[in-house]
């Protein structure tokens, strides 16, 4: 069982700062960083945590699930939830906000990934003025209490932008293969041989461990990768579709809309 009191660090040209989040006596703490550097270690906080990606994209592992936060998306991480963050984005702007939560709303006890609406986005940006403020400030407390009180109402629906890592060791080679070949047509018989399982057993165990069929798992990998590429704004929708393995833009759009509940064009508008 993990029992870490998390230390966040910021590296810059002039200093190496360390902040013990769980030792702060104030109810809220804001941390904004232009180029976030993280230690990639599993940890937990006594406070709840809101992570907002202003630009770039962020991967977060939470309780053996890997979540993607594209630009202008956020995740609510409940108190005492084991997690770690890492990013493949060259430059990432993150706003991380910690909060003592006393409300009993079920929203605060579950992980929620969501697109940040304009009003909440402006509130998060306004809170930057208190970034790394170590002492309690009444204005900060009043403002952030209002923000976190309203947070469940800002979230229209929680996106399922995650994939689960199976614990069953028989699926290790299967997962490695699917992650390396998600662009290609998956050969079920090859996976069955790698796992030393019958095809029926492989399908049953895979669904039990990940919550998804193999085809749905591959679809989720493709869409998550497409969000990463679209967030970088280096490829068009058409180029992205072919890059992640779809044979047509129409097929990609249908798949994207099935997972995300909106179209790739809507996503691009949201990150502008």
CATH number of domain containing 208: 1.10.10.60
Residue 2 lies in a domain: no
pLDDT given at position 37: 64
Residue 25 and residue 130 in one domain = yes
Of the candidates 244, 226, 257, the residue with the CA atom closest to the CA atom of residue 184: 244
For residue 88, which of 268, 260, 269, 227 has the smallest C-alpha distance? 227
12 and 139 inside one domain: yes
pLDDT for res 7: 44
pLDDT at 121: 92
**Domain extent at residue 206:** 166-271
Q: pLDDT by residue for the chain (272 residues), tens digit each?
A: 333 344 444 433 233 356 788 888 899 999 988 776 666 788 888 999 999 988 877 888 888 788 878 888 899 999 999 988 876 556 778 899 999 987 788 889 999 888 888 899 999 999 999 999 999 999 999 999 999 999 998 876 667 678 888 889 899 889 999 999 999 998 888 889 888 999 999 999 999 999 999 999 999 999 989 988 888 788 999 999 999 999 999 999 999 999 888 899 988 887 66
Whether residue 150 is found in the same domain as residue 173: no
Select from 154, 174, 204 the last residue of a domain. 154
Classify residue 124: in a domain, yes or no: yes
> How many C-alpha atoms does 14 have within 13 Å on its Cβ side?
0
196 alpha carbon, distance to own chain's centre = 33
Question: In the numeric block, which tokens belong to residue 68?
Answer: 């993607």
129: domain CATH number is: 2.60.120.10
Instruction: Please check whether residue 252 lies inside any domain of the structure.
Output: yes
46 with 178, same domain: the answer is no
Q: Which of 98, 132, 154 is the last residue of a domain?
A: 154
The reported pLDDT for the residue numbered 245 is: 96
- The string of DSSP codes covering 72-136 is TEEEEE-TT--EEEE---SS-EEEEEEE------GGGGS-EEEEPPHHHHHHHHHGGGGBT--S-
Residue where a domain stops, chosen among 94, 125, 154: 154
Residues 150 and 171 in one domain: no
Residues 137, 174, single domain; the answer is no
> Is 100 found in the same domain as 144?
yes
Q: How many domains does the chain have?
A: 2
């Amino acid at each position: 069982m993990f029992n870490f009191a998390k230390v966040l660090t910021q590296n810059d040209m002039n200093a190496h700062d360390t902040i013990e989040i769980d030792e702060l006596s104030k109810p809220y703490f804001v941390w904004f960083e232009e180029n976030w550097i993280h230690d990639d270690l599993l940890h937990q906080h006594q406070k709840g945590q809101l992570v907002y990606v202003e630009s770039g994209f962020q991967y977060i592992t939470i309780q053996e699930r890997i979540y993607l936060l594209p630009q202008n998306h956020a995740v609510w991480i409940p108190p005492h939830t084991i997690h770690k963050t890492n990013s493949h984005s060259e430059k990432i702007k993150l706003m991380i906000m910690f909060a003592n939560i006393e409300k009993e709303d079920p929203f605060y006890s579950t992980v929620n990934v969501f697109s940040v609406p304009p009003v909440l986005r402006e509130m998060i940006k306004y809170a930057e003025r208190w970034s790394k403020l170590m002492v309690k400030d009444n204005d900060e407390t009043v403002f952030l209490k209002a923000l976190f009180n309203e947070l469940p109402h800002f979230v229209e629906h929680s996106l399922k932008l995650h994939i689960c890592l199976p614990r069953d060791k028989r699926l290790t080679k299967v997962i490695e293969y699917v992650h390396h070949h998600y662009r290609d047509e998956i050969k079920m018989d090859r996976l069955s041989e790698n796992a030393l399982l019958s095809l029926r057993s492989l399908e049953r165990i895979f669904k039990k461990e990940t919550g998804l069929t193999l085809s749905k798992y591959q679809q989720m990998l493709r869409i998550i990768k497409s969000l990463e590429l679209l967030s970088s704004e280096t490829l068009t929708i058409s180029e992205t579709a072919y890059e992640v393995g779809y044979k047509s833009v129409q097929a990609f759009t249908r798949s994207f809309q099935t997972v995300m509940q909106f179209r790739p064009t809507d996503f691009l508008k949201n990150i502008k």
